[in-house]
Every structure is written in structure tokens, then in C-alpha cells.
Structure 1
Amino acid sequence: MNLVESEYQMGKSKIFMRESQKQKLDTQLHQTILSRIIVIQRWYRTIHQRRHFLNFRAMVVKIQAKHTAMSI
């Protein structure tokens, strides 16, 4: 995690660290959370756009089928 070993100490059940090391960990956690949020948003937008496209294509095919049937 790129922490300075002299700035933290590990106990049996706790880790003690200076505020600067805690800030580094908090910043890294925040960046990780943001990157995962972006992945979820990208996935949702892809699914949403795909559904919209498939719906639109189905409507176009239906209109073309009616138009073709009327021409015959």
C-alpha cells in the first residue's frame, strides 16, 4: 500500500497509524470506490442504450413490414 513502516504499527487486533498514513488509505479507498462506480454506470448505460436500440429496431421492422404489405 506504499505506507511508511515507521508511521504505523500493527497490534494483535488493531493497526495504529499516523494521520498522514490514514489520509493515504482514505484517498486510495475513495479512488477505488469511484472507479467501481464508473464501471457500474458504464454497464447500466450500455444495457439501457441496448434496450432502447432493440426497441427502436423492432418498431422500424414493424413499420417496414406494414409498408411492404400495403405495397403488395
Structure 2
Amino acid sequence: MPDDRHTHLTDHPLTAARGAAGLTVEQLARIADFEPNVLRAIETRCHRPTLGELNALAQVLRVRIVDLRE
């Protein structure tokens, strides 16, 4: 059986911040004016976000940019 604690510890910081805000990928995408597939790509580490993307997401999530960086 997979260890859920291990999976949680390896979540992207964006995933954790989004979860703490109680938002789905689709909700965050709509609020931040992103395509949901871009957020999914960031969270699965298939896309490295630009500083501008991080800034926009940090503002919506009310966190510091450094809190979203790996």
C-alpha cells in the first residue's frame, strides 16, 4: 500500500498552497487567468513557472513568491 505521507511530502509547493486556500486547479486557473493545463503542468513538474507566473499565483493565493518555488 502506498504511503500517503510520502506523496504529500513531495507535492509541489503550488499544490500545497492551492490546497491550503481550498481551491481546485480549475478554480485557481479561473481566478488567476491561467489555463488549467498550465497549472497541472506546474504541479506535476512538467513546466517550470516563470517569475511572472509565480507572481500572479502568489498574489491570488496570498503567499510569497518564495513559498511557491522549489
Q: Which is richer in strand?
A: 1
Does TM, normalized by the shorter one, top 0.5? no
Q: TM-score, normalised by structure 1?
A: 0.28
Structure label with greater radius of gyration: 1
Instruction: Choose between structure 1 and 2 for higher RCO, CA contacts under 8 A separated by at least 6 residues.
Output: 2
